[in-house]
Structure 1
Amino acid sequence: MIKLSDIDHVKFGVKDVDESSNSWQVEFGLTERTREGRESYLAVNYEPYSIVVEESEEVGIQYAAYNLHPDFSLEDAEQHLKAVGVDYIRSANAIDFVDPENNGVRYVPFRPRAGQDVYPIASRLTNSLHPGRYRKLGHVNYLTADVNSMVDFYVNVVGQELTDRLGGDAGAFLRIGPDHHVNALVNTGTPHFHHVAFDMGDWGMVPTTFDHLAQHGRVFPWGPVRHGIGGNLAGYVRTPELDCFIELYADMEQIDEFHEPRDFPDDRHSSSVWGMLPPRSYFRFDEESIAMERESLRGIYE
């Protein structure tokens, strides 16, 4: 059975790499580490990079990449994929394949901790990172047409663990380490990448972070909310240029080795203990719903 270490990075196709890289830096506080042709590699914190944007005709996510556990090499991962009958493409430093709904998945080798990475973030020194940065890349979320097939694939092929279910077949949350989820699946009947999420580290970052994004014209269709499942405080920013949302969160539930998957009811409390359900537009990516959100029109709740 394959074993993972953590989520490593997410790659997006964008119309204009200069514009996108600038947005990630100025609006979301990431740091451009390097530029290779029409690709920009951006770091959330001290890591080499967590977001890659590439100029492309196809806008949106290209793949989510996961670090292999140090006990597993790329050659081991190849043998695993062969054994479970999944087609893949091997390159020098990665393995690429797709899930049952054609979402890209990438394996990359374990990234050992070295230098300052062995110390807590507060103990490190920097002369290049922006103030007010997020703590880390946290997770990705997909809308799905078949949650059970996707759970089976991400557990038995990708190597994640089921943390919890939502209303049986309404949704599922999967993890790699102690964070409640590194991947979430919501059964809407139509597949679509929904969001990439960043751990803000602290509740105190919410007002200044959200104010800053609002000053750049960003819209928060939902949040801040306190999720019943996962326990995290969260807000969701619409990013039409990436064809998804960005979630900013803090205080996610930590899972121990004795955890048994739970089944949360598919109700208001599981979505937000504060009682605020998302607008219907939260599950849509068409121009009409995006416009309705921006103008706060009644139709976003229908």
Structure 2
Amino acid sequence: MIKLHDIDHVLMGVEDLDASTHQWEDEFGLTQVGREGRQSLLACNYENPSLILQQAAKPGIIHAAYQLAPGFSLDEAEKHLKEHRVQYTRSEAGVTFADLEGNGIQFVEYRPKQGQDKFPREWRQTTRNHRIGAPRRLGHVNYLTGDIHRQVDFYLNVVGMKLADKLGANAGAFLHIGADHHVMAFVNTGDAHFHHIAFDMLDWGQIRQSFDHLAQYGRVMPWGPVRHGIGGNLAGYVRLPEGDCFIELYCDMEQLDATHEPREYPDDRHSSNVWGLLPPRSYFRFDKESIEAERESLQSIWEKQPALLGD
């Protein structure tokens, strides 16, 4: 059985590497900590790069990478994938493969914390230009799926995650590695698509400040603020059209202990947002018409909504 430690990074394809790097630094507060050929390495704070941008003809998410547990080698990961008859490639970076709907996955070796990294962030000292208001860390990723049962089975048995909770019998599933309620999740919409990258923030005050900042760059927050019933986290979502996905900023995630047993939440509004509204339908769509309707809040105008969103 494969063993994981945590999420490591997300690899995203971009058309203009320099412009995208500055965008992530200026808008989302990440810091470039390295440049390797066609890749720009960005970190939230002191940790290893959590977002890697790669020059690519087709923008979008290429893979989500996970650290193997201490003592579990890439050779053992290869053996595990062979036993499950999963095709993969091996490189210096790690072992790369895809799930049943073509979403990229990579296993990388465990990287032990060294030096100041062993201590809380607030205690450390640095001369590096950390950006005020930066996320604390990469938290999780989320996918839309057309085959939730097979996908969940794949991530439990092949990728090595654990089931945290379910939304109804078929509507959604949340998987974890450590104490965080989920490190990845599926929403069963009938179609496969990467949905969002989520960054852990200090508190709601920092999230508010970040969305005030992003609004000055013309970013649109289609859903939020919300308090999720499943996971318990406070969150807000901003669309990233050039990445064909959303970015979630969240805090206050439920922490699971070793005795946790998966729960099945009812598939209702309260499980998604205990404060009120469900997301607009455009939240689950990535076509130009829905994005434009979302930008102008046309989904809130009943007379406009059916024609614009394809009903």
Pairwise TM-score range, normalised by the shorter structure: over 0.9
Q: Match for 2:122: what amino acid?
A: A
Whole-Å separation in 2 of the counterparts to 1:201 and 1:153: 32
Deviation at 1:87, TM superposition (A): 0.9
Query: Structure 1, residues 188-234: CA drift from partner, whole Å, max 9, x if none?
Result: 00000000000002122122111001111100000010000000000
**Structure-1 residue corresponding to 2:255:** 254
Indicate yes or no: 2:274 matched with 1:273.
yes
Whole-Å separation in 1 of the counterparts to 2:63 and 2:239: 19
**Structure-2 residue corresponding to 1:145:** 146
Whole-Å separation in 2 of the counterparts to 1:206 and 1:44: 15
**Structure-2 residue corresponding to 1:106:** 106
Q: Which structure 2 residues correspond to residues 224-243 of structure 1 after superposition, within 5 A?
A: 224-243=225-244
Structure 1 window deviating more from structure 2 (235-244 vs 116-125): it is 116-125
Deviation at 1:236, TM superposition (A): 0.3
Indicate yes or no: 2:299 matched with 1:283.
no
Whole-Å separation in 2 of the counterparts to 1:271 and 1:72: 36
Q: Match for 1:176: what amino acid?
A: I
Q: Which structure 2 residues correspond to residues 160-239 of structure 1 after superposition, within 5 A?
A: 160-239=161-240
Whole-Å separation in 1 of the counterparts to 2:38 and 2:75: 30
Whole-Å separation in 2 of the counterparts to 1:237 and 1:38: 26
Q: How much is the aligned-residue C-alpha RMSD, in angstroms?
A: 1.1
Whole-Å separation in 2 of the counterparts to 1:174 and 1:201: 22
Q: Identity rate of aligned residues, in percent? A: 62
Gaps of 5+ in 1: none
Q: Match for 1:235: what amino acid?
A: G
SS at match of 1:54: strand
Q: Match for 1:66: what amino acid?
A: Y
Deviation at 1:150, TM superposition (A): 0.7
Q: Which structure 2 residues correspond to residues 29-68 of structure 1 after superposition, within 5 A?
A: 29-68=29-68
Indicate yes or no: 2:135 matched with 1:134.
yes
**Structure-1 residue corresponding to 2:302:** none
Structure 1 window deviating more from structure 2 (220-229 vs 202-211): it is 202-211
**Structure-2 residue corresponding to 1:158:** 159
Whole-Å separation in 2 of the counterparts to 1:275 and 1:207: 18
Deviation at 1:121, TM superposition (A): 1.3
Q: Match for 1:106: what amino acid?
A: Q
Runs of 4+ in 1 over 6 A off after TM superposition: none
Structure 1 window deviating more from structure 2 (228-237 vs 197-206): it is 197-206
Q: Match for 2:109: what amino acid?
A: P
**Structure-2 residue corresponding to 1:96:** 96
Deviation at 1:92, TM superposition (A): 2.2
Whole-Å separation in 2 of the counterparts to 1:125 and 1:50: 21
Query: Structure 1, residues 8-35: CA drift from partner, whole Å, max 9, x if none?
Result: 0000111111111111000000000112
Deviation at 1:127, TM superposition (A): 2.3
Q: Match for 1:86: what amino acid?
A: V
Q: Match for 1:166: what amino acid?
A: L
Deviation at 1:51, TM superposition (A): 0.3
Whole-Å separation in 2 of the counterparts to 1:273 and 1:168: 20
Deviation at 1:126, TM superposition (A): 2.2
SS at match of 1:27: helix
Q: Match for 2:291: what amino acid?
A: I
Whole-Å separation in 2 of the counterparts to 1:33 and 1:147: 37
Whole-Å separation in 1 of the counterparts to 2:237 and 2:92: 36
Indicate yes or no: 2:123 matched with 1:118.
no
Query: Structure 1, residues 106-157: CA drift from partner, whole Å, max 9, x if none?
Result: 0000010101111011111222211111111000000000111111000100
Whole-Å separation in 2 of the counterparts to 1:156 and 1:23: 37
**Structure-2 residue corresponding to 1:7:** 7
Gaps of 5+ in 2: 300-304
SS at match of 2:53: strand
Structure 1 window deviating more from structure 2 (48-57 vs 172-181): it is 48-57
SS at match of 1:266: coil
Instruction: Give the TM-score normalised by the residue count of structure 1.
Output: 0.98
**Structure-2 residue corresponding to 1:73:** 73
Whole-Å separation in 1 of the counterparts to 2:34 and 2:250: 27
Q: Match for 2:223: what amino acid?
A: W
